[in-house]
Structure 1
Amino acid sequence: MTAMALHADEEWFCRTAWRRIAVGPQRPDIVHAHALHQAARLRVGGVPVVINLPGEPNARYKEDLQHADALVADGWAAEHLSSRLERSIDRVPKGVDIERFRPDGPTVRETLHLSDRRVVIAVARLVPIKNVRLLIDAMAMVRARVLDTHLLIVGDGPAGASLRSRAIELDLADSVTFAGSVPHSQTPAFYRAADVFALPSDFDNSPNAILEAMACGLPVVATDVGGVRDFVADRAGGALVPPRDPAALARALESYLTQPAAARAAGAHNRSVVSTEFSWRASALRLLDVYSRVIDARQGDRRASA
């Protein structure tokens, strides 16, 4: 789908949604749109509109976003977009279900025959920006020195076939498991099968997978891109490495694979951080603050104009 076609499709969706809201039996207190930048411009009635920004919007939407009652974002977007859009952005951190994603519980380690392996896991869409090829290249370097290392890749996408070919090319066919797409409810058992979580992306605004891995008590080795640094405390919770540097990624992975005490300490640190700062409750309370503010502001405007 081209950018213009996508724009038209989103425009149609927003108009249709507002028509349904207008004739509905109950007026909502607020409309929260995720990356539907036209939603505020097309609003029907005085319903407050909050728009979530997962990344930098196309320049065509800059004027649309001025109509929103609030913009919310996290990660790289929260830090950089305010000046580019010339308006304030509320930072609302992502949250993770810390009861579902936890260190203890069922694991697929035995099912996947990984009991005697040191396991690195990546959970990602297999698309170019996630650069899982970089991780496969780094794993070849790790395995040359740590023979029982195994890579578990959870996710699917158009790059899957080329990544499988790359693993074969590097003689890693028996050292990489492609688990494919896994229902989200089942992913905790995959995280628990690993010793280290890896994220090799070229860019990631605020990857959920890192928070899920942290909640499961894993050390995190990731490229220092986007908003990753907001989650991972370098050296305390894992390691941040330069993007597109397989040797640096390999060294950081090997460090945690060969030092289990350090890995456990980093994992415990990550679990604590997620439980206090990135739980669903913490995220929901911050978002509720934004909702309350914009609702009160709209009500104040109506009273002033009455």
Structure 2
Amino acid sequence: MTRDNLAIVVKGYPRLSETFIAQEILGIQQAGIPYRIVSLRHPTDKKRHPINDRITGAVDYLPEYVYQEPMRVLRGWLKARKLPGYRRALNIWWQDYRRDRTSNRARRFAQALVMAAELPDDITRIYAHFLHTPASVARYCAIIRGLPWSCSAHAKDIYTSEDWDMREKLRDMDWLVTCTKANVDYLRQLAEDPEKVNLLYHGLDFSRFPEELPQRPSRDGRDANDPVTILSVGRLVGKKGYDDLLRAFAKLPADLHWRFIHIGGGSDGKYKQLASDLGIAAKCDWRGARDQKEVITACQSSDLFVLASRIEQDGDRDGLPNVLMEAQLCGLAAVSTSISAIPELIADGVNGKLVPERDPDALAKALETVISDPALRHEMGSKGNEIVRRDFSFYRGMKELAHRFGVTDSKDNKTITRQPEAV
């Protein structure tokens, strides 16, 4: 097997909300697999994770919109139209556009033209993160250049995409990995060859986390001067269910003392207003986007983690949120919802509590139980740490992924499976 030289297509780079992608790219780099990053968008986050500073591969930014770089797109077309796969790619794109007459679909073909024209000749495989727009660009470019391509699928990209689009991408790619059993089952129903679809948990790089669990105080919510600290990490978007969570908080007994810390990007105005309307604003601390070190520090100093994920009307949902694994690795008991792949990590009553989505009453009841019982939180948090360390190691998945990219010798395998020094 020849080792691939990768073009990794991502929607944006770097992104605070996609530490799992940065972690994987660093793993690819550490395995000695040549790569470059191709990003559909420029970064918008003001902060960046320390892990991004360790990623040294070249980054190519495609034109976000045709009007911004029309001459670059024109040059891309003039070069790409002379390549052997151009006519087939154009025909496939036209079939796609007839079913999806959007500017987004047109823009993806323009980006693919530029990528096909500018990609170095030594690239041997295109690998896309997300099955929607990045996979569209990867597919068109791969056909134009006559290259094999593969994909890593996650959550929103699966459940908000049209079946016909995913079915045809699965037909054209070599293989796909996805991060939950639920996703595997869903995508295998669409694939002509179900064996193309494989489970690959993101997992965590344990070296970025303290080995010892913190000694947490036995807070039980009875002392107004020492409330139980409840942490949640996630973007302020509908599928994270923060309005459900705030309504659940408002239903907690008045003599149960707690404080809520939120970390994550997005507009917090409507949530602050809702907290104010519910009379709990003084207990809520909205900290905005933070890097991974700050998230880990918050996990270490909190008593409980909560994430009220839900499925939106357009199908958008979480898969298996990395933040839940991170919280569990830090020994935090977790309260969450029984949707998607969350039950693949959280077993109700074992390492956390699971409740139905969009049910503030059930969520409040679960929160009251764990807020008032520090021994139960300790037991659940310890069990969660054990489960993550046993089943969700990044290096186990990285070894399989590296093999798919042509790393086969024992020396390389030792490099992949060895925990790096903490940073």
TM-score, scaled relative to structure 2: 0.61
Amino acid at match of 1:150: R
Please tell me the residue identity of whatever aligns with 1:259. D
Shift of 1:82: 1.1
1:150-299 map, 5 Å: 150-158=259-267, 160-202=268-310, 203-292=317-406
1:304 maps to which residue? none
Measure, in 2, the Cα distance between the counterparts of 1:235 and 1:102.
25
Matched with 1:82 is: 188
Identity, in percent, stands at 25
Aligned partner of 1:140 in structure 2 is 250
Change (3 A) 1:233 1:290: farther
Q: Quick one: distance in 1 between partners of 2:188 and 2:243?
A: 33
Choose between structure 1 and 2 for higher RCO, CA contacts under 8 A separated by at least 6 residues: 1
Q: Shift in Å at residue 162 of structure 1?
A: 0.9
Partner of 1:96: 204
Deviation of 1:258 after TM superposition, in Å, equals 1.3
C-alpha contact 2:203 2:397 (8 A) present in aligned 1: yes
Report the residue type matching 2:123 in the other structure: R
Give the deviation of 1:115 after TM superposition: 8.2
Residues 104 and 192 of structure 1 are in contact (CA less than 8 Å); yes or no, is this contact kept in structure 2? no
Amino acid at match of 1:154: I
Please point out which of 103, 127, 131 is paired with 1:32.
Answer: 127
Aligned partner of residue 125 in structure 1, secondary structure: coil
Amino acid aligned to 2:114: T
State the Cα deviation string for residues 7-31 of structure 1 (Å, max 9, x = none): 333333333333333x34x334x32
Structure 2: segments with no counterpart, 5+ residues? 1-64, 66-99, 218-223, 311-316, 408-423
User: CA distance change for structure 1 residues 81 and 288 in 2, over 3 Å: closer, same or farther?
Assistant: same
Cα distance change on mapping 1:82 and 1:197 into 2, 3 Å: same
2:154 paired residue among 46, 54, 65: 54
Name the aligned partner's letter for residue 206 of structure 2.
I
| CA distance in structure 2 between the partners assigned to 1:200 and 1:51 by the alignment | 28
* Aligned mates of 2:186, 2:164 — CA distance in 1: 18
Return the offset for 1:176: 0.8
Gaps of 5+ in 1: 294-306
1:257 is displaced (CA, Å) by 1.5
| Matches of 2:253 and 2:302, distance apart in 1 | 16
CA distance in 2, matches of 1:268, 1:136: 27
1:276/1:185 CA distance change after superposition, 3 Å: same
- Does the 8 A contact of 1:41 with 1:67 survive in 2? no
Q: TM-score when scaled to structure 1?
A: 0.83
Report the CA distance shift for 1:285/1:106 in structure 2 as closer, same or farther (over 3 A). same
Q: Give the distance between the partners of 1:161 and 1:20, measured in 2 at CA.
A: 42
2 CA distance for matches of 1:213 and 1:172? Answer: 24
* Structure-2 change in CA distance of 1:102 and 1:58 (3 Å): farther
Distance of aligned partners of 1:102 and 1:231 in 2 relative to their CA distance in 1, 3 Å threshold: farther
In 2, Cα distance between equivalents of 1:41 and 1:64: 10
Distance 1:207 1:234, change over 3 A: same
- Aligned partner of residue 302 in structure 2, secondary structure: coil
Show CA shifts across 1:220-277 (max 9, x none). Answer: 1111111111111221110110001111111111212111111111111111111222
Q: Secondary structure at the match of 1:150?
A: strand
Cα shift at 1:45: 4.9
Question: Is the alpha carbon distance of 1:99 and 1:11 closer, same or farther for their aligned partners in structure 2, counting shifts above 3 Å?
Answer: same
Matches of 2:252 and 2:373 in 1, distance apart?
14
For residue 149 of structure 1, the aligned residue among 258, 263, 274 is 258
1:40 match: secondary structure:
helix
